[in-house]
Chains A and B, each alone.
Chain A
Amino acid sequence: MAESIVQVEHLRKEFKDTVAVADVSFEIHRGEIVGLLGANGAGKTTTIQVLLGLTTPTAGRIRIFGQDFESHRVEILQRCNFSSAYTGLPSNLKVWENLLIFAKLYQVKNHRQKTDELLELLEISHLRRQITGTLSSGESTRVNLCKALLNDPELLLLDEPTASLDPNIADKVRKLLRRVQRERGITMIYTSHNMRDVEEICDRVLFLNKGQIIAEGTPQQVIDQFQQKSLEDVFIQVARSGDLLVEEEK
């Protein structure tokens, strides 16, 4: 079995009057692409944010690269990166300026060469001098990904990276992520509520519902477990059974 990259034990996160993550445990190994899926509000983003130290857990233990997160925050973050459809880079700077800042922030060696290489890989070399705020959403997703790959992360966390993209661009981004993962052996955690996304890209999925993992395995295993034809059907079944439960409670 490959080296363990992320270990989460009994993670719980409560906000004032919501339990965002109830009790979640999982382990992720080097080189895996793991999808966190579930309906809106299932706790995907919260889980990712706890893994990145943006939010502190109410209970539970998190180890990344075998180290305790809280006591090794900076060392761990140096080897991780993050991209999301809901964050952006400063819009009035040029693309290369933004990338330079993050290259320096992560203390990337040979950052000029590294940036060129990534821009090429992501097919956005021509955008280098463009003002970041003028990019289309497909372009800015790729620029965000470029930022997220600058430090050669061993662990990449992606929160709905394809959320604002049309199906064509989304497909391109997925293929690209697959390729990057194959070439660089990056471990990825990927959240989405787009089931096709997940089926295509993830080696393994963790199905979250109301802050709990209700199914886990390869996409096919999860589909079989629910005796459905696709993850989308599983998703709908889970969502509707949730509605049923609520109705029964009434």
Chain B
Amino acid sequence: MNWHRISALVLRYTFLYTRSVPRIVEMFFWPVMELLVWGMLTQYLQTGPFKIPGFIKFLLGAMIFWDILYRSQQATTLSFLEDIWSRNLLNIFVAPVRISEFIVATYCVGFVKTLITAAGLSVLAAVCYHFNILSMGLALIPLFLNLLVMGWAVGMVTTGMIMRWGQASENLAWGIPFLIQPFCAAFYPLDSMPAWIRPISLAIPATHVFEGMRAVLAGQGLSFKYVLCAAGLNLIYLTGAAIFFRFMYGKARKQGLLAKLGTQ
């Protein structure tokens, strides 16, 4: 692992994102719109007969947390796509860059972009709805990191898919997080879900993060159990994703797909 090369790749994405207004706007546009809509809806509901204590906290917390997972996955895959779109992919792959260095660079970009979006949303939630995510204290760190890492794992899988099946699979890549969303107990507690879904949910790292988040927001503190489950599952998924990616990379080289993707 060579950090000079990784930092060169990160520099490439830094230039890319800081030089492009649409890309900066894109980082905030959807998350902000969602936060506004759902935040206002919840505020409205709180005034009616359906009061659930602390519901707005749970919802806003879940939205910000969901976005961490989603953005982390997107940023990882988007970095690869940006190189395809600019026909730069071959230049990168004929440079003395190890595939692991390329991946780590996309992780770094994912980390920074996620942090920025999450910070932006947190400020907005504090200003508009008096929800201060920092009130979660240090518990935020392990929860954030676990979502970030899960996003990396999913991102690596979607990048592998695009490498193998080309840009036709792009939409699928964007859709995959939403395949996970209903099962990961983001917006409702695990207990409220049908019993047959629960085993699936428990196998998803994010489920434990969201459960942990609700516990913290309800003032119960962060149980070690949640962090351990999430981290353990993440380790398994990240390893699995790396193996999947390697396999897809091998396939892509065998079938000459890198060159195709890079010159289309």
A residues contacting B by CB (< 8 A) are: 13, 15-16, 20, 45-46, 49, 52-56, 73-75, 77-78, 80-82, 84, 86-93, 97, 100-102, 104-107, 147
Contact = CB atoms under 8 A, between A and B. Distances in A.
7 contacts: A54-B90, A90-B83, A91-B86, A101-B8, A101-B9, A104-B8, A105-B97
Contact of B254 (A56, A102, A105): A56
Given A46-B256, A55-B258, A87-B263, A104 B86 contact: no
Contacts of B87: 86-88
B253 A55 contact: yes
Contact of A89 (B9, B88, B262): B88
Interface string B75-94: 00000001100111111111
B246 interface: no
Given A49-B256, A89-B88, A89-B91, A77 B96 contact: yes
Given A52-B94, A54-B93, A105 B88 contact: no
B91 A87 contact: yes
Interface in B1-32: 4-5, 7-9, 11-12, 15-16, 19-20
Residue of A15, A78, A106 with most chain B CB atoms under a 10 A cut-off: A106
Contacts of A105: 5, 8-9, 92, 95-97
A52 B262 CA distance: 14
B104 to A, nearest CB: 14
A90 B255 contact: no
A176 B207 CA distance: 60
A16 B255 contact: yes
Contact of A80 (B94, B97, B98): B94
Contacts, number: 105
Nearest to B97: A105
B128 interface: no
Given A87-B87, A101-B11, A101-B12, A54 B94 contact: yes
B259 interface: yes
A23 to B, nearest CB: 18
Nearest to B82: A90
Contacts of A92: 16, 19-20, 86
A137 to B, nearest CB: 13
A145 to B, nearest CB: 12
Contacts of A13: 256
Contacts of A78: 96
A81 B94 contact: yes
Residue of A13, A88, A90, A102 with most chain B CB atoms under a 10 A cut-off: A90
B256 A55 contact: yes
A45 B11 contact: no
A45 B86 contact: no
Residue of B9, B82, B83, B256 with most chain A CB atoms under a 10 A cut-off: B256
Contacts of A97: 15, 19
Nearest to B7: A104
A87 B93 CA distance: 12
Given A16-B255, A101-B11, A90 B94 contact: no
Contact of A82 (B94, B98, B258): B94
A68 to B, nearest CB: 16
Nearest to A18: B256
Give the top 9 A-B pairs by smallest Cβ distance, nearest first: A104-B8, A78-B96, A77-B96, A86-B263, A90-B86, A88-B87, A105-B8, A74-B96, A82-B94
Given A80-B94, A86-B263, A104 B16 contact: no
A90 B88 contact: yes
B4 A107 contact: yes
A100 B11 contact: yes
A54 B7 CA distance: 23
Contacts of A16: 255
Contacts of A90: 12, 15-16, 82-83, 86, 88
Nearest to B91: A87
A123 B109 CA distance: 35
B8 A49 contact: no
Contact of B5 (A49, A56, A107): A107
Contacts of A91: 86
A77 B95 contact: yes
B119 to A, nearest CB: 25
Contacts of A53: 93-94, 253
